Amino acid sequence: MSFIEAIILAVIEGITEYLPVSSTGHLIIASSFFHIAGDSFTKLYTIVVQLGAILAVVFLYWKRFFQSIDFYLKLFVAFIPAVFLGLLFNDVIDELLESPIIVAISLILGGIILLKVDKWFKSNEEFDNSKLEEHTKISYITALKIGFFQCLAMIPGTSRSGATIVGGMTQRLNRKTATEFSFFLAVPTMLGATAKKLFDYHQQGFTLTPQQINYLLMGNVIAFIVAIFAIKSFIDYLSKHGFKLFGYYRLIIGVAILIIHFYIYPLTII
């Protein structure tokens, strides 16, 4: 991985982490174009760099993030499914992280869902707005169900934020409430994923060089800064327009990846 490639991947991460378009999927495609997708450090980088983007949530919502013990317990409950399934399917996930075809298919399927999701859960907005205090409070059961939806994002291209937001909406949360909980849930999830990836990297016999450490630090700073602007823009757009634009985007990108891979430029060998 070169210095420029590290910067580009960090910018992509910052832009896409909180959009329902799959940051991991975009990182896989970009690294495939650079012919570095199968490199061990690249796999580490694409996970660890997400931590910087995640910390943007803590920075922007720190008053709301540092709440009661009850709030943290709910985040922990929602985080549990990812821990068990992540450990169980760790090797499979690593193999999927090299596949642009899996990313493309996931983008297309997710795009179809996002084109319909506003219509499916239109009543959520009216329901939550009429009895805000009573019905937008997230219970432990709701948190657990959202946690299982988050596990769908273990398939590259699915989108962690997209899966958890839709999961929240299935529990009668409005878009804003579901989106914010998705943002908060990302913090323990990516902290755990980063720690696990660094541990695995060490267990595989790799040692980070000073240059690689600098890349990770730089990448996280860039992702953090870019994500701050992306979060503000996304929340504003979503509250006014919904998910349809992101659905069309996913369809276009997914189909484009398949065309490029099979007819123009093989993105990787799997």
Burial of 203 per CB tally in 10 Å (0-12, 13-18, 19+): exposed
Give me the pLDDT at residue 262, please. 83
Give me the pLDDT at residue 226, please. 95
59-107 confidence digits (pLDDT tens): 988 877 777 788 889 999 999 998 888 777 766 666 666 677 888 888 9
Give me the pLDDT at residue 20, please. 87
For residues 39-63, give the mean pLDDT.
89
Q: What mean pLDDT is reported for the chain?
A: 84
Q: 36-53: buried (b, 16+ CB within 10 Å) or exposed (e) per residue?
A: bbeeebbbbbbbbbbbbb
User: CA–CA separation, 143 vs 90, rounded Å?
Assistant: 23
Question: What interhelical angle do 210-241 and 175-203 show, nearest 10?
Answer: 160
13-40 confidence digits (pLDDT tens): 999 988 888 888 888 888 888 888 778 8
User: CA–CA separation, 138 vs 26, rounded Å?
Assistant: 31
For residues 154-181, give the mean pLDDT.
86
Range list of H helices, 34-131: 40-60, 62-65, 69-88, 90-96, 100-120, 122-130
SS3 content of the chain, % helix, strand, coil (to 5): 80, 0, 20
Contact call for residues 12 and 6 (beta carbons, < 8 A):
no
CA-CA-CA-CA torsion for 76, 80, 89, 146, nearest 10 degrees? -90
For residues 153-168, give the mean pLDDT.
87
Q: Flag whether the pTM goes above 0.85.
A: no
Which has more confidence, 225 or 183? 225
Give me the pLDDT at residue 126, please. 57
For residue 79, what are the contacts with CB-CB under 8 A and spacing of at least 6?
A: 147, 185, 188, 189, 192
Give the rounded percent of residues in the chain with a pLDDT score beyond 90: 30
101-160 confidence digits (pLDDT tens): 888 888 999 999 998 887 887 766 655 444 444 334 688 999 999 999 998 888 888 888
DSSP 8-state class, residue 103? H
Give me the pLDDT at residue 134, please. 36
Q: Which helix (H) or strand (E) holds 178?
A: helix 175-203
User: CA–CA separation, 204 vs 23, rounded Å?
Assistant: 25
Give me the pLDDT at residue 133, please. 40
Q: Is the pLDDT of residue 189 over 70?
A: yes
Give me the pLDDT at residue 18, please. 85
Token code pair at residue 72: 């943290």
Give whole-number Cα distances, 236 to 54, 80, 86, 162, 233, in Å: 18, 30, 32, 16, 5
How many other CB atoms are found less than 10 A from the CB of residue 246? Answer: 23
Give me the pLDDT at residue 220, please. 95
